[in-house]
Structure 1
């Protein structure tokens, strides 16, 4: 059993340009201590300028590299068969003017969206009708309903996004975080398929 090694690729990792990737960077290994560290330090890939933003490492390349150096080692691969490597390129910091412009655009865009929605469903008329039913009086601006409604709308958005600024209310993910996770999964799968096609194209062309 000491010659058996279990290997599981990570789904996604982030590296910097010109970085050298070893097996421990892209995979979790369970093996006997006498060769575990040597396997983890095997070089798998060297990031270059031609790689642009993404690289896909297939498990066959990892297995081939290990077998070339440790022919007597029995390898049991687990989990995903490919690892997506995202190359992080440093970008210039956003200027305060640009940040404020984006913030104002999002703020007024969200405000107009809420106002247009309320206008479409005639929310003011609904409040007037409810106020008349409860009090028996007609009121053009039923603030008794509109003020609590506005406060509740804000609180509802806080609960929906599960955040107060950067502080999370509880450990449960918000619907937005779930959708972002699903989007990231689909994006990763697309990038893996795209990079595989590019790699196959280069191989067939050569």
Structure 2
């Protein structure tokens, strides 16, 4: 008796242009040994320029391809029902002038944001009062506090984002990476739902 084969769709993969997407690329497979290699190499989709940069492969399409190849093989699906395929087209290289312009824009914007925040919370006055409490001397520019505070602010940002340039400080994800992960999940969910609506519209039209 043939046992049920089990497939579990991967949530998201990245492929090159004109790539041949096989079942092993879009799903994890559990099956009997005589079928394993054939199922893994089963072609599910051929990427073309008409696909642009996103393709949604539904579990129904995967099961249909399996049954066309192996009509008597029972198949069950677990987990996600769609795989989002991102086509990795080569991006234009950033010109040095544009890089410098973007860097200056972000640097100035971040600096202004920090200064405006400090102005809103009266950080200058707080430093003056702290300096007076610690030394008993009134000073409108307590550099003894402001310089270490500025250095600590920069070090705190490095620790917060968990990166020094491209080097990671530890294995924990940074808050930015977590937010990017959440954004990718929301984007994949939107693409999957939008694709299902388009399929329903095409069915209704026929």
- Settle same-fold status: TM greater than 0.5: yes
Please tell me whether residue 27 in structure 1 is matched to residue 18 in structure 2. no
Following TM superposition, by how much is the alpha carbon of 1:2 offset from its aligned partner in structure 2, in angstroms? 5.7
CA distance in 1, matches of 2:69, 2:49: 28
Q: Would the aligned equivalents of 1:9 and 1:81 in 2 still touch at CA under 8 Å?
A: yes
Residue 165 of structure 2 corresponds to residue 156 of structure 1: no
Partner SS, residue 141 of structure 1: coil
Looking at structure 2, the residues matched to 95 and 46 of structure 1 have their Cα atoms a distance apart, in angstroms, of 33
1:52 is matched with 52
Q: What TM-score comes out, normalization by structure 2 length? A: 0.94
Q: Structure 2: how far apart are the matches of 1:175 and 1:20?
A: 35
How many residues get paired?
Answer: 206
Q: Which runs of 5+ in 1 are unaligned?
A: none
**Contact map agreement 1:2 1:31 (CA 8 A) in 2:** no
- Is 2:113 the partner of 1:113? yes
Tell me the residue number matched to 1:125. Answer: 125
Alpha-carbon distance in structure 2 between the residues aligned to 1:105 and 1:41: 48
**Mapping 1:22-101, distance limit 5 Å:** 22-101=22-101
More moved, 80-89 vs 16-25: 16-25
Q: What is the TM-score with the length of structure 1 in the denominator?
A: 0.94
Q: Secondary structure at the match of 1:6?
A: strand
* Structure-2 separation of matches of 1:49 and 1:32: 36
Q: 1:201: Cα distance to partner?
A: 2.0
Q: Distance in 2 between matches of 1:138 and 1:46?
A: 74
Deviation, structure 1 residue 148: 1.1
SS in 1 for 2:83: strand
- In the alignment, the residues of structure 1 paired with residue 133 and residue 204 of structure 2 have an alpha-carbon distance, to the nearest angstrom, of 76
What is the CA-CA distance between 1:76 and the residue it aligns to? 2.6
Find the aligned partners of 2:196 and 2:66 in 1 and give their Cα distance: 22
Question: Whole-Å Cα distance in 2 between the matches of residues 109 and 32 of structure 1?
Answer: 59
